[in-house]
């Protein structure tokens, strides 16, 4: 069996994998019913990344996180998070603890809130370095790598049991034939599925998460990253956090600015995606519905405001860190983009969606917890390929693996 990894950039981790907060998220944020796969992936991902980082001698800093509420509605949400965390395997008091205002002040004097959850089972890593390490693993296992080639089209007309993938680099197009396609293309995953006449009832919306780098005088403002309870959890609009990265740098972000493409990191690129995306959305019933949703449009306007106004952005974090001054922030951080799936009723799909047909499998709507749950999600997909006889597990390769893929997949199913 030959495996070929196709990557559109000159190296891996150019996009979301290096443009996130660098956190290995605890699973208390994920509803174990509505976000079943996300919750399980986040729960298992922590241990898997810890083991992998130790094996590769890459940094894994167990630093914990504080989720804060600034009003009664937020406090009610914290109680819900406590229930979710326990359902997802976190141990009350040992790994997840409810703190009152005074208790928060004892561990983080700069934070202002009415209550908080402290989770010790949260970590910081450099996902860019981890992903590049995985690329070397792929090569050592015999996987071929094709960098700098963007997938233009996947032909669904099967010719003697083979699919045709049209890819292009800077100079020419090439045709690759294959027996099976695994589509894990992130912001492009839905487009590839559509090209194969799958998941047509879904479309995607893209949201750019922007950051402001904190100046040196704020470097030791807190020891922990501080997350605030989102005011509208049914939408992908996260209130900006205070992030302490693995190298000690601090940032405020991300917001969630609606953009027209998965790589619209700045306004000039956003304009380039404008017409194609509008044409796509005009044909999708679900997108038309949400674009006329008043609350969604109001929230979207607020996010755009936080993009155009530094003060508006910093003031959102100032609710729980009152010492912050917008004038002190002078440098933007690195923006990333999250792509969220919309169903035909105009609702955001809450969990990841795995769509399979005879010759392909597509991982759609895979966003937060994103990198945290990537390894157990991969195990789930690969084990399915084992079960369906698409690939045959090799004893030589399994002996080099850190994990038993089958047992991980079984736990993901439970």
Residue 100 pLDDT > 70: yes
Q: Average pLDDT in the 94-118 region?
A: 96
| Bigger pLDDT: 180 vs 1 | 180
Residue 395 pLDDT > 80: no
Residue 86 pLDDT > 80: yes
Q: Average pLDDT in the 238-256 region?
A: 92
If DSSP states are collapsed to H, E and C, what string results for 104-153? HHHHCCCCCCCEEEEECCCEECCHHHHHHHHHHHHHHCCCEEECCCEEEE
Residue 278 pLDDT > 80: yes
Measured distance CA(313)–CA(305) in Å, rounded: 8
Digit-coded pLDDT (tens) for 187-241: 999 999 999 999 999 999 999 999 999 999 999 999 999 999 988 877 877 789 9
Residue 292 pLDDT > 90: no
Measured distance CA(70)–CA(56) in Å, rounded: 40
Q: Average pLDDT in the 11-37 region?
A: 92
Measured distance CA(378)–CA(381) in Å, rounded: 5
Among 272-286, 370-384, 385-399, the least confident range: 385-399
396: pLDDT confidence band, cut at 50, 70 and 90?
low
Residue 348 pLDDT > 90: yes
Please report the domains of the chain, with CATH numbers, ordered by start residue: 1-40+52-59+123-202+351-414 (3.50.50.60), 203-214+248-348 (no CATH)
Question: To the nearest whole number, what is the mean pLDDT of the chain?
Answer: 92
Among 105-119, 352-366, 400-414, the least confident range: 400-414
Helix axes 374-387, 405-413, angle to 10 degrees: 100
Residue 403 pLDDT > 70: yes
Residue 124: its pLDDT value, please?
96
Q: Average pLDDT in the 370-392 region?
A: 91
Residue 414: its pLDDT value, please?
73
Q: Most confidently modeled of 35-39, 108-112, 149-153, 302-306?
A: 108-112
Element spanning 210, H or E = none
Q: Average pLDDT in the 299-307 region?
A: 92
What percentage of the chain exceeds 90 in pLDDT? 77
Q: Average pLDDT in the 48-54 region?
A: 96
């Amino acid at each position: 069996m030959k495996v070929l990894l196709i990557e559109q950039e000159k190296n891996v981790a150019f996009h979301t994998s290096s443009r996130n907060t660098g956190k290995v998220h605890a699973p208390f944020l994920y509803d174990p019913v509505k976000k079943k796969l996300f919750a399980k992936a986040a729960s298992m991902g922590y241990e898997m990344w810890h083991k992998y980082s130790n094996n590769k001698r890459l940094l894994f800093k167990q630093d914990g996180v504080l989720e804060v509420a600034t009003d009664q509605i937020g406090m009610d949400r914290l109680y819900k998070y406590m229930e979710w965390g326990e359902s997802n395997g976190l141990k009350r008091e040992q790994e997840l603890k409810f703190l009152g205002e005074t208790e928060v002040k004892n561990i983080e004097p700069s934070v202002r809130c009415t209550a908080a959850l402290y989770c010790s089972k949260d970590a910081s890593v450099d996902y860019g370095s981890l992903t590049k390490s995985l690329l070397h693993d792929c090569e050592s296992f015999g996987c071929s790598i094709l960098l700098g080639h963007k997938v233009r089209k996947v032909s669904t007309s099967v010719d003697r049991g083979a699919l045709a993938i049209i890819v292009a680099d800077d100079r020419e197009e090439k045709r690759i034939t294959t027996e099976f396609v695994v589509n894990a293309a992130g912001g492009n995953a839905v487009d590839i599925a559509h090209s194969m006449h799958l998941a047509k009832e879904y479309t995607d919306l893209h949201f750019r998460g922007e950051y402001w780098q904190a100046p040196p005088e704020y470097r030791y403002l807190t020891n922990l990253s501080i997350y605030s309870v989102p005011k509208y959890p049914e939408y992908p609009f996260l209130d900006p956090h205070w992030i302490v990265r693995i190298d000690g740098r601090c940032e405020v972000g991300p917001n969630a600015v609606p953009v027209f493409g998965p790589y619209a990191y700045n306004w000039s690129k956003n304009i380039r995606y404008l017409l194609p995306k509008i044409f796509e959305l005009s044909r999708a019933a679900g997108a038309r519905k949400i674009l006329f949703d008043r609350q969604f449009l109001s929230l979207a306007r607020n996010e755009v405001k936080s993009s155009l106004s530094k003060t508006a952005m910093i003031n959102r974090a100032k609710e729980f860190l009152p010492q912050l001054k917008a004038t002190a922030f002078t440098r933007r951080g690195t923006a990333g983009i999250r792509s969220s799936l919309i169903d035909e009723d105009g609702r955001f799909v809450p969990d990841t969606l795995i769509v399979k047909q005879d010759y392909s499998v597509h991982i759609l709507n895979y966003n937060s917890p994103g990198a945290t749950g990537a390894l157990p999600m991969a195990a789930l997909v690969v084990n399915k390929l084992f079960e369906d006889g698409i690939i045959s597990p090799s004893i030589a390769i399994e002996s080099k693996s850190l994990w038993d893929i089958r047992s991980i997949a079984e736990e993901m199913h439970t």
